Structure formats: structure tokens, C-alpha cells
Amino acid sequence: MGDVVNLNRFRKQKAKEERAAKAAENRVVHGRTKAERTAEQKRHDSQTADLDGKKLEPADQDD
């Protein structure tokens, strides 16, 4: 004879495992650490400042 299983508890446990698996998958796909986001923002700000510093201003021409 097999063990008695509470089907409601079994369904809840299965759903919980599926949510955990989906969360792990999303962390891999979308997740970045705070350090990575901060480093990317600093790199972007630096590049923007560097590019803005190299812009040529149009010469004012008096007619």
C-alpha cells in the first residue's frame, strides 16, 4: 500500500517550486547586481561628458 498524500499540499508545493524556478530564470535573464548597474551608469556618464567636451560649437557669424 502507498503513502497517503495530501493533494492540496502537493499542488501548493509544486506551484511554489515552479515559481522559484521561474524567478531563478528571470534573475539570470534580467538581473544585474547593484555594482554592475552603478559601474554601467558611471561609464555612461563618463562617455557622455567626454563626448560633450569634444563638441564643436558653431561659429557665430555676423552678417
Per-residue pLDDT of the chain (63 residues; tens, 9 = 90+): 788 889 999 999 999 999 999 999 998 888 888 899 899 999 999 999 999 988 888 777 665
Residue 31 lies in a domain: yes
Give the domain extent around 42. Answer: 7-53
User: 59 lies in a domain?
Assistant: no
Report if residue 2 sits inside a domain: no
Residue 40 in any domain: the answer is: yes
Q: Judge whether 11 lies within some domain.
A: yes
* Total tally of structural domains belonging to the chain: 1
- The grid cell for 1 is 500500500
d(CA 20, CA 48): 39
Instruction: Establish if 37 belongs to a structural domain.
Output: yes
